[in-house]
Amino acid sequence: MSCPLVDFSGQFNAAFELAVIRQGTPPLEFRIKAAGRRFRLRFATAAMRDAMLPALRNLVIPLNHAEPDDFTLNIWESASTGVQPPSPAWPLKNPITKGEITELTDLRFAGHVSHESGAVSFYDADARTAIFWLADARNLRGHERAAPFLTIFQWCFRHSGRQITHAAVIGLPSGAALLAGKGGSGKSTTAALGCEAGLLHLGDDYCLLADDPPRAFTFYRSVKLHPRSLRLGPLESWSREAAWTAEEKDVLLLDGQAPREVGLKIILLPRVAGAGGTAVRPAGAAEALRALAPSTLFQLPGTTPSDFTFFARLVRQLPAFHLDLGTDPENVAVRVRELLEGVKP
Amino acid sequence: MGNSDLLMSVRVNTPDVIHESFDSETVIVNLRLGVYFSLNEAGLPLWAQIQTGTTGRQLFDLWHKTHGVSEAEAQAVVRAFLQELYEEQLVVIDTEAPLAAPFEPGLVATPRPVLQKFTDLQDLLMLDPIHEVDERGWPHAKPAGDMSNAT
């Protein structure tokens, strides 16, 4: 007896292969490595490659790298291939929260649709494969290009001790700061100011963490900054580097090579104070958890109570501080550096 | 207070609700509703009891013994707390009767359990009108605002 989801998965993959045939050339293949996991990206079209790969270029490893792939992603669009995805043989009627398609999700499979671009991600945990389909690459939103395949990576890292987290990470080779807080709290600006002052930049908006021991892995190289942040003195030159826009923000792609991973030393909870110098105050673990966990849990599909437990373990291991951002942007990185150099792991 | 309050069983509304307790605060998250809470130190013993599954009687007794207040005061505090937890869908209360007695602040001695609610991230949980597909069918969503084929 066939399983509807297995059949659907087969049809979806067959549609990808047909899209490749229609293109008349082999898929455009790249391999990337993040947090020790190797992903093979197979783009059916150059349009999808050009849209989705730039924010991952820092993770690319040679195609002939000896280590085997952990996951394979088949990526295609209908606009330039003329191939449509299959429709499930059953109605999709359940409400969709966070893009999760419950009718395409069980213990093995997971389905997601983007509210904005309509992109569909479909994951097969047993086969360790995923499909990313879009009607037209031009439909992709700026933030989706800044954090490509976010949902698929979330599924792939599930149960691995790695956690995609809505936060930013900057630091020194000897230890890094995790910047936590809701949108608009100043995470990205603090991270950019730190980067400009010579600190390592391991992630903006979405970063990749482990908790045993606490550490951050290099992940997306994109940075999203509001124009008002780009008017800050140290960041004025960054405004000329914008690769594209994401809603009201500019997206920049960092070129520097950060280490594959850095240990986490502290959690910082930035807040735009707007006056005086940047000040640091101790914060409680519960405050850190409130700043860190809900924004990730409410945004990413497929999150589970175990993700919350991950964040709870993390905040119990790291000292946390409020970072009240003052009006002197130069001072921000100085205070972060002082904290990193003064706190022993 | 009626017998129903004494006998009602109270438990955490899992799996929608997840929580973590620290020395002076418990963080509670309602994954389904996209809201989260901070419960103060005074509420921690009650929440710890609720985690293991408990009854109204046990919670009243716990507050009564811990704080040395009268039974009436303990009942008022605990009832108000349970009412708030119930309304926020953080607990499931199994009883045939509703939580009836009104809160009587005049009776209540400090400290009190205080539940602080955060709704600032609630809009991250969006319901998607993906069922409104265009003429090509799934997964081609109808453009926002296009209600031409709405029934």
pLDDT digits (tens, 9 = 90+) for A32-73: 999 999 999 999 999 999 999 999 999 999 998 788 999 999
Measured in angstroms, the CA of A151 and the nearest CA of chain B are apart by 15
Structure tokens at B51: 């985690």
Q: What residues in B contact A101, CB-CB < 8 Å?
A: 130
CA–CA gap between residue A111 and residue A317 (Å, rounded): 34
**Alpha-carbon gap, residue B30 to A164, rounded angstroms:** 20
CA distance A60 to chain B (A): 31
Interface with A, mutate which of B17, B21, B24, B27 (most A CBs under 10 A): B27
**Beta bridge partner(s), residue A214:** A211
Residue B72 resides in a domain: yes
- Domain count within chain B: 1
Q: Is residue B31 part of a domain?
A: yes
What tens digit of pLDDT does each residue of A131-145 get?
999 999 999 999 999
Whether B137 is in a domain gets the answer no
The least confident of A27-31, A149-153, A243-247 is A243-247
- B45 and A CB contact within 8 Å: no
Averaged pLDDT of chain A: 92
Residue A286 touches chain B, beta carbons under 8 Å: yes
Q: Is residue B32 part of a domain?
A: yes
Instruction: Tell me the nearest-neighbour CA distance from B99 into chain A, angstroms.
Output: 29
A-contacting residues in B 99-118 (Cβ below 8 Å): 118
Is B24–A92 a contact, with Cβ atoms under 8 angstroms apart? Answer: no
A-chain CB neighbours of B139 within 8 Å are 85, 87, 113, 118, 120, 133
Check residue B150 and give its pLDDT: 31
The residue with greater pLDDT, B151 or A252, is A252
Statement: residue A343 has pLDDT above 70: no
- pTM for this model (two decimals): 0.90
In this prediction, residues A167-181 reach a mean pLDDT of 96
Packing angle of the helix pair B56-67, B71-87 (nearest 10 deg): 130
Least confident of A11-15, A105-109, B101-105, B138-142: B101-105
In a domain, B14, yes or no: yes
The answer, yes or no, to whether residue A332 has pLDDT greater than 70, is yes
Tracing tokens 């905040």 back to the chain, one arrives at A315
Q: pLDDT at position B104, please? A: 54
pLDDT at A345: 42
**Which residues from chain A sit within 8 angstroms of residue B124, using beta carbons?**
98, 295, 298-299
- Chain A residues inside the 8 Å CB shell of B26: 286
DSSP-derived 3-state class of residue A178? strand
Instruction: Give me the mean pLDDT over the A216-227 stretch.
Output: 94
Contacts of A148 (CB under 8 A, 6+ apart): A51, A52, A53, A55, A56, A220
- Whether B29 sits inside 8 A of A293 (CB atoms) is yes
- Tell which A residues from 167 to 186 touch B, by Cβ distance under 8 Å: 182
Look at B20 and A96 and tell me if their CB atoms are within 8 Å.
no
Q: Domain for residue B133, yes or no?
A: no
B118 to chain A: closest CA residue: A290
Q: How confident is the model at residue A246 (pLDDT cuts 50, 70, 90)?
A: confident
Average of per-residue pLDDT across A189-215: 95
Say which of A299, A305, A308 has its CB closest to residue B124.
A299
The answer to whether A27 touches A42, Cβ cutoff 8 Å, is yes
CA–CA separation, A59 and A39 (whole Å): 10
Q: Which residues of A touch B137 (CB under 8 A)?
A: 87
- A233-242, A243-252, B19-28: range with highest mean pLDDT: B19-28
Cβ-Cβ contacts under 8 Å, B34 against chain A: 298
What pLDDT, on the 0 to 100 scale, is given for residue B1?
A: 41
- The answer to whether B125 contacts chain A (CB < 8 Å) is yes
Tell me, yes or no, whether B132 lies in a domain: no
Which residues in A lie closer than 8 A to residue B29 (C-beta atoms)? 293-294, 297, 308
CB-based contact (8 Å) between B140 and chain A? yes
**All domains in chain A, ordered by first residue:** 4-156 (no CATH), 162-340 (3.40.50)
Q: Are A39 and A32 in contact (CB under 8 A)?
A: yes
Better pLDDT: B4 or A25:
A25
Kindly state whether B48 is in contact with chain A, defined as any CB-CB distance less than 8 angstroms: no
Please give the average per-residue pLDDT across A305-330, as a whole number: 94
CB spacing of A305 vs B18 below 8 angstroms? yes
User: How far does the CA of residue A98 sit from the closest CA of chain B (Å)?
Assistant: 6
Residue B140 placed within a domain: no
What is the pLDDT at residue B121? 86
Lateral strand order in the sheet of A60-61: A60-61, A28-34, A37-43, A71-77, A129-134, A120-124, A109-113
Whole-number pLDDT of residue A88 = 74
Q: What is the pLDDT along chain B (151 residues), one digit of tens a residue?
A: 445 666 789 999 999 999 999 999 999 999 989 999 999 999 999 999 999 999 999 999 999 999 999 888 898 899 999 999 999 999 998 865 555 554 455 555 568 999 999 998 887 765 444 445 556 655 666 555 443 333 2
For position B97, which CATH number holds? Answer: 3.90.930
Q: Which of A118, A135, A290 sits opposite B36 (nearest CB)?
A: A290
Average the pLDDT over A80-91 and give the result: 84
Residue A103, pLDDT > 90, answer: no
User: Is the CB of residue A96 less than 8 Å from the CB of residue B127?
Assistant: yes
Whole domain around residue B83: which residue ranges?
Answer: 3-120
B107 vs chain A: nearest CA distance in angstroms? 31
Instruction: Note the pLDDT of residue B6.
Output: 67
